[in-house]
């Protein structure tokens, strides 16, 4: 069933700041929470996505609700779809990509397969998927838009922040986004200090406070 799109409540400036970070740093800053199954990967090299989720649930082998989601989406939304982990049918292709770009959709994260990836890469539309498949979907069966879904083992609610890069995808609860962003930038500065220390000849044992001594025999 289609429901009204969740209004984007995360400030645009905050989304822009988060876009400069990386998935691993955000995951650590979030207390090692929100890591999506690593089997969901960038569908083309260099894809990056950051924005609030518009959630979709489709019956296996049918993508009607993805068409509905594109129609309801606001500029900046990331469409996040559960399609029954269907891997023999491409639930998203070039046509949906062009439709999504025309509405300002920021990207797609889908627990399933997509197709037409060469054309999609040329269009520069970020997609993270579990695989590629040339099979087609029906467009007949209703599902849901804007309800909590399971994405690769993580619960995603409409409005939660989705971030994906070459390392994978992380989900950050909407109410935690600002605090996680602040911690992520602090973490990045600490990492830069460590890298500078390494270039000056220090060791990771020193800089990270690790005990590198071998255990003593009893």
Tell me how far the alpha carbon of residue 66 is from its chain's centroid.
17
**How many other CB atoms are there within 10 angstroms of residue 139's CB atom?**
12
CB contact at 8 A, 106 and 47: no
Write the DSSP string, 9-78: -S-HHHHHHHHTS-HHHHHHHTTS--B--TTSEESSTT--EEEEEEEEE--TTB-HHHHHHHHHPPTTPE
Three-state secondary-structure class, residue 186 = helix
Q: Please give the Cα distance from 218 to 216 (Å, whole number).
A: 6
pTM of the full structure? 0.92
| CB 80, CB 44: distance < 8 Å | no
DSSP letter (8 states) at residue 88:
S
- Residues (pLDDT < 70) of the chain are 1-6, 212-218
Q: Under a CB-based contact definition with an 8 Å cutoff, are residues 144 and 66 in contact?
A: no
Domain boundaries of the chain, sorted by first residue: 12-184
What is the structure's pLDDT at 217?
A: 56
CATH placement of domain 12-184: 3.50.30.40
Q: What was the pLDDT predicted at 74?
A: 95
**Packing angle, helices 12-19 and 177-199, rounded to 10:** 30
């Amino acid at each position: 069933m289609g429901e009204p799109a969740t209004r984007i409540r995360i400030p645009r400036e905050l989304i822009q700041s988060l876009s400069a970070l990386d998935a691993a740093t955000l995951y650590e800053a979030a207390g090692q929470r929100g890591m999506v199954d690593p089997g969901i990967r960038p569908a083309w090299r260099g894809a990056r996505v950051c924005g609030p989720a518009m959630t979709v649930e489709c019956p296996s082998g049918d993508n009607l609700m993805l068409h509905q989601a594109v129609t309801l989406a606001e500029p900046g939304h990331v469409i996040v779809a559960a399609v029954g982990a269907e891997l023999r049918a491409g639930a998203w292709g070039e046509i949906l990509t062009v439709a999504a770009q025309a509405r300002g959709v920021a990207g797609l994260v889908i627990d399933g397969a997509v197709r037409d990836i060469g054309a999609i890469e040329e269009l520069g539309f970020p997609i993270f998927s579990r695989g590629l498949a040339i099979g087609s979907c029906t467009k007949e069966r209703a599902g849901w838009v804007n309800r909590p879904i399971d994405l690769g083992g993580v619960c995603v609610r409409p409005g939660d922040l989705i971030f994906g890069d070459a390392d994978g995808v992380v989900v950050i609860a909407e109410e935690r986004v600002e605090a996680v962003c602040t911690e992520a930038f602090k973490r990045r500065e600490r990492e830069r200090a460590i890298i500078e220390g390494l270039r000056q000849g220090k060791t990771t044992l020193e800089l990270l406070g690790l005990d590198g001594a071998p255990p003593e025999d009893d």
